[in-house]
Structure 1
Amino acid sequence: MGRDEMRAADSDRQAVADKLKKALDEGRLELAEYDERLQQAYAAKTYGDLDGLLDDIPGTAPARTHTTDPAPHTATPLPAVRSERAGQLVKAWLGGFGGIFVVGTVIWLVSSIGSGHPQYFWPVWLLIPMVLGALGRWRRG
C-alpha cells in the first residue's frame, strides 16, 4: 500500500488546517479559497486527499512529514527541562489555590474587622486541597 492510500489521522487534517489558517492570515489565500481548502482538508480520508492543499503556499511543509512508525521514538527530556516544567506546573496549580486562599483570607479579615473581634479562621480549610495536591505532585516527582 502506498502512502497516498493510507488513512490520515485527525492530527494530520488539523495540521493542514492550521497551515491554511496561517496562509489566510498572511494574505496568501482569499477567504473563499481558504474555506474551500479547509473543507477539503477536513473531508480528507487519506494522505492523497491532503496532498496538494499546501503545494502552492511557500513555507509550508507538505503533510507527508507524518511518520507511519507504529512505535514513535520519543526523547526523554533532560532533568533540568523536566524539573523546570514541573516547577511551572506546580506554580500554576498552587497559584490558583493560593489565590483562592488569599481571597478567602481577605474576606475573613474584613469580616473580623467589621465585627470588631477576630472570627474563626475558616480559610485554613482552603489549605487542605492545596497541601494534599502539592504532596501528591511532590511524591510523583
Structure 2
Amino acid sequence: MDSGRRGRDLRIGDPERERAMRLLGEHFSAGRLELAEYDERCRQAAGARFGSELDELFDDLPGPRPVELAPATTRPTPSAGAIALTVGAIAAGIALVVVARQIGVLLLIPMLAIIWFTWRRR
C-alpha cells in the first residue's frame, strides 16, 4: 500500500475513470493535448485507483476537470408535501373507482399519468 497518500484520498471506480477519460477527450478535441499525450493520460486514467491520480492528469489543463468526483448520482428524497399529495391523489383515485366504477377507471388513467410525470420530474 502507498503510505505516502493522504488519509482522505478515496478509491475510485469505473464511472470516475470513464468521466476522466471523457473529459480528456474534450481537451483533446479542443487541441490542448496531442495524440500521444491523450493516449498516455487515458492509459493512466484507466489504471488509476485513487482520486488524486486522476487530479494529477489535469494539473496543466483548464476546466473541465474531474474535481467533483462523486459517487453515482442519487435521487433527492421527496418532500413531505409531495408524499402527502401523492397519497391523497391515490386515495382520490381509489374513491373514484369505487364510487363511479367505469367513469372512475377512465378518470384514473390521466390521474396516474400526472402522478407519474410529477415524480419523474423531480
Q: Residue in 2 aligned with 1:3? A: 8
- CA–CA distance in structure 1, aligned partners of residues 73 and 45 of structure 2: 26
Q: Residue in 2 aligned with 1:14? A: 18
- Count residues in correspondence: 79
Q: Deviations over 1:25-78 (max 9, x none)?
A: 0100000000000000000011122121112111223x331246x9956266xx
TM-score, with length taken from structure 1: 0.46
- CA–CA distance in structure 2, aligned partners of residues 40 and 14 of structure 1: 12
| Structure 1 residues without counterparts, runs of 5 or longer | 80-136
Residue 24 in structure 1 maps to residue 28 in structure 2:
yes
Residue 66 in structure 1 maps to residue 69 in structure 2:
yes
Q: Residue in 2 aligned with 1:53? A: 57
- CA–CA distance in structure 2, aligned partners of residues 64 and 50 of structure 1: 9
1:20·1:38 contact (CA, 8 Å) conserved in 2?
yes
TM-score, with length taken from structure 2: 0.52
| Structure 2 residues without counterparts, runs of 5 or longer | 1-5, 83-111, 117-122
Q: Aligned AA for 2:8?
A: R
Supply the RMSD in Å over aligned alpha carbons: 3.3
SS of residue paired to 2:16: helix
In proportion to residue count, which structure has more helix?
Answer: 1
| Higher Cα Rg, which structure | 1
